Structure 1
């Protein structure tokens, strides 16, 4: 993954920049602007046009794609999404992740592991990133409902997309993009066979959603319930490390 190399010794260059808008969202923003200008300039309905212009600005902001500084350590599993850690539970990975694929590659083990659910509101960045480096082993789209993504049953009932990444050392990790009440479209940027780096952009979910991450066996979270994560930066866990971490909401 090309980028500006920075470290904790002060090397690299850092400056504030306006986040870019992902190409996937530019058409939606331009459509919103065109509608707002139609009401403002053609119909002269300012009471509708100005609010619509505000909506257009929000649409552009929704598809913002800021740069992230990704930890470069194979022990770390980084957050694939911005948002709120809404659920931490121990469950078996979805059946679609467990079964062997068409190439004969075995899936994830069937025993329960820690699942971290990150809820993305409509105000969060919705570009999702790879939690680890490796090869994309499978991308499985599952149609479904659009219940509140904050509910536990959303992982089994909603429109969703499973992604499994396999590392050269045999470690496999699965995560699921889940559509929510407003979201109606999961857009992948990767396909099976792609080699990806940790923190690389792998897809997005339009307009509110959730991402579930299934940590490898023997790995506990390094985040707590109610914590906010930053995609590509927040460390969710350290492979093979188990430790109780507590926090206090103030």
Structure 2
């Protein structure tokens, strides 16, 4: 387990806040109840940041015949839908909701070349809102594998998630299971798969990024 690089600034701000608040309490000689409250609050804030930005080390067994889960969380959508940004036809959508307690590293679901990338500014509707996939701040990534199959996946900001980070661009060669981005403080990732793809998960399943098999070709 390691601490993710995206959390360094947040951790530094929390440590600074803890130091300043406790120094003020000592300077004004606050009573023991106030000091213990601040100690508990400080520990809670510190542990919250550390757990949120944790980044487990993973050994990924590469397999071109499967779609790996791109994020930790819970499966909230499995349905056929129109994908109107890139494919402009029907696709099989699988959506994973990430709560603030989940690991927020986003991983490539398959190996290949990034054939399309776009960042969309937008709203911050709650992640389970029906229009969050099209109206919220988001990124769209399409990867084409060695067999010519393309899979689209989106990072979608939510009501709490106000920063999407990505590490890919068009033309990049990516490897299954490697990090392609990070979303701060809870949101969701959508996958758009070819119609007929065999899905290995069900709505409500808890899934693990880089480990759970979402679907098979």
Matched, 1:34 2:2: no
Matched, 1:21 2:3: yes
Mind listing any 5+ residue stretches in structure 1 that lack a counterpart?
1-18, 99-107, 240-250
Q: Give runs of aligned pairs for residues 59-208 of structure 1, distance below 5 A.
A: 59-95=49-85, 98=86, 108=87, 110-208=88-186
SS of aligned partner of 2:171: coil
CA distance in 1, matches of 2:195, 2:80: 10
Check conservation: 2:119, 2:139, Cα contact below 8 A: yes
The answer to which structure, 1 or 2, has the higher relative contact order (CA under 8 A, 6+ apart) is 2
1:141-179 Cα deviation digits (max 9, x unpaired): 111111110122110111111011112321111000000
Q: Which structure shows the bigger proportion of residues in strand conformation? A: 2
1:69-117 Cα deviation digits (max 9, x unpaired): 323221000000000001111112242xx2xxxxxxxxx3x32121001
1:185-217 Cα deviation digits (max 9, x unpaired): 100011211111100100001101000001123
TM-score by length of 2: 0.91
CA distance in 1, matches of 2:123, 2:84: 17
Matched residue, 1:234: 212
RMSD over aligned Cα, in angstroms? 1.4
CA distance in 2, matches of 1:32, 1:139: 34
Mind listing any 5+ residue stretches in structure 2 that lack a counterpart?
27-33
TM-score by length of 1: 0.80
Q: Which structure shows the bigger proportion of residues in helix conformation? A: 2
